[in-house]
Structure 1
Amino acid sequence: MNSRERIIETLSFKVPDRIPIFESSFWPETIERWRREGLPNHVREGYGIHEYLDMDIVYFTSFFDESPGFKERILTETEDYIITTSSYGCTIKYWKDGKKYSTPQHIDFPVKSEGEWLEYKKRLVATEEKLLNVGKKVELVRKSGGFVFLSQREPCWPILCDVMGFNRGLATMYRSPELFDDMLKTFTDQLIDMCKIIEERGMDYDGVYLRGDLCYKNGMLFSPKIYESLLYRYHKRICDFFKKRNKPVIHHCDGNVNQYIPLIVKAGFTGMEPLEARAGNDVRDLKKKWAGKIILLGNISVEVLSSTKKEIEKEVVSKVSIAKEGGGYVFKSDHSVPPTVSLENYSYAVKLAKEYGGY
Structure 2
Amino acid sequence: MIPRERILRALYGEEPDTVPLFEIEINAPIVRQLLGRIPTDALDFYEVYSGYGLDGINFWDNFRLVKTLDEKSFIDDWARMWSIEENEVTYYVRGIIDTEEDFEKFSPPDPFNYDRLDRLRKVIKNNKYWLAVVGGIHDAFEIPSQMRGVNNFLIDLYKNPGFARRIVETSVEYNVELAKAMIDLGVDAVISGDDYAYKHGPFMSVKHFREFIAPYLKKIVDEVHRRGVPFIKHCDGNIWPILDDIVNTGIDALHPIEPQAGMSLREVKQKFGDRICIVGNVDVTNVLPLGTTEDTVKDVKRCIEEAANGGGYILSSSNSIHNAVKIENFKAMIRATKKYGKYPRI
- Alignment gaps of 5+ in structure 2: none
AA aligned opposite 2:23: E
Distance (Å, rounded) in 1 between the aligned partners of 2:217 and 2:133:
21
Indicate the SS of the match to 1:228. helix
Distance of aligned partners of 1:153 and 1:2 in 2 relative to their CA distance in 1, 3 Å threshold: same
- Describe how 1:79-90 pairs up with structure 2 within 5 A: 82-90=72-80
> Is 1:237 the equivalent of 2:222?
no
Distance (Å, rounded) in 1 between the aligned partners of 2:247 and 2:180:
25
Contact in 1 for aligned 2:140/2:168 (Cα 8 Å): yes
AA aligned opposite 2:93: H
Distance (Å, rounded) in 2 between the aligned partners of 1:85 and 1:158:
13
- Describe how 1:33-48 pairs up with structure 2 within 5 A: 34-35=33-34, 40-41=36-37, 45-48=44-47
Distance (Å, rounded) in 2 between the aligned partners of 1:221 and 1:48:
37
* Residue aligning to 1:312: 296
Indicate the SS of the match to 1:104. strand
Q: CA deviation at 1:129?
A: 5.8
* Residue aligning to 2:93: 106
> Is 1:123 the equivalent of 2:108?
yes
Distance (Å, rounded) in 2 between the aligned partners of 1:91 and 1:51:
34
* Residue aligning to 1:346: 330
Q: CA deviation at 1:251?
A: 1.2
Q: Which digits, 9 at most, give the CA deviation of each residue in 1:194-220, with x for residues without a partner?
A: 444566xx5221100111011111111
Distance (Å, rounded) in 2 between the aligned partners of 1:14 and 1:178:
43
User: Residue 222 of structure 1: which of 204, 212, 236 is its match?
Assistant: 204
Contact in 1 for aligned 2:137/2:179 (Cα 8 Å): no
Distance (Å, rounded) in 1 between the aligned partners of 2:235 and 2:247:
14
Q: CA deviation at 1:104?
A: 2.0
User: Residue 166 of structure 1: which of 139, 147, 150 is its match?
Assistant: 150
Q: CA deviation at 1:304?
A: 0.9
Distance of aligned partners of 1:203 and 1:338 in 2 relative to their CA distance in 1, 3 Å threshold: closer
User: Residue 76 of structure 1: which of 70, 95, 118 is its match?
Assistant: 70
Distance (Å, rounded) in 1 between the aligned partners of 2:97 and 2:143:
12
Q: CA deviation at 1:331?
A: 0.7
Contact in 2 for aligned 1:251/1:273 (Cα 8 Å): yes
Aligned pair count? 337
* Residue aligning to 1:335: 319
AA aligned opposite 1:59: I
Aligned-CA RMSD value: 2.4
Distance (Å, rounded) in 1 between the aligned partners of 2:91 and 2:105:
26
Contact in 1 for aligned 2:180/2:224 (Cα 8 Å): no
Indicate the SS of the match to 1:348. helix
Contact in 1 for aligned 2:293/2:328 (Cα 8 Å): no
Q: CA deviation at 1:271?
A: 1.2
Contact in 2 for aligned 1:321/1:356 (Cα 8 Å): no
Q: Which digits, 9 at most, give the CA deviation of each residue in 1:29-88, with x for residues without a partner?
A: 3345x45xxx544996533222222232x22124x66x6x66231x234xxxx2322232
- Normalising to structure 2: TM-score of the pair? 0.88
Contact in 1 for aligned 2:201/2:238 (Cα 8 Å): yes
Distance of aligned partners of 1:28 and 1:277 in 2 relative to their CA distance in 1, 3 Å threshold: same
Q: CA deviation at 1:296?
A: 1.1
Q: Percent identity?
A: 24
Q: Greater CA deviation, 129-138 or 226-235?
A: 129-138
Indicate the SS of the match to 2:124. helix
Distance of aligned partners of 1:197 and 1:252 in 2 relative to their CA distance in 1, 3 Å threshold: closer
Contact in 1 for aligned 2:280/2:314 (Cα 8 Å): yes
Contact in 2 for aligned 1:149/1:209 (Cα 8 Å): yes
* Residue aligning to 1:358: 342
- Describe how 1:1-359 pairs up with structure 2 within 5 A: 1-32=1-32, 34-35=33-34, 40-41=36-37, 45-56=44-55, 58-62=56-60, 71-73=66-68, 75-77=69-71, 82-96=72-86, 98=87, 100-101=88-89, 104-107=91-94, 109-120=95-106, 122-124=107-109, 126-128=111-113, 131-134=116-119, 135-141=121-127, 144-161=129-146, 163-196=147-180, 202-302=184-284, 303-306=286-289, 307-359=291-343
Contact in 2 for aligned 1:282/1:299 (Cα 8 Å): no
AA aligned opposite 2:235: C
Distance (Å, rounded) in 2 between the aligned partners of 1:311 and 1:234:
40
AA aligned opposite 1:71: V
Indicate the SS of the match to 2:336. helix
- Normalising to structure 1: TM-score of the pair? 0.85
Q: CA deviation at 1:2?
A: 0.4
AA aligned opposite 2:9: E
Distance (Å, rounded) in 2 between the aligned partners of 1:76 and 1:246:
44
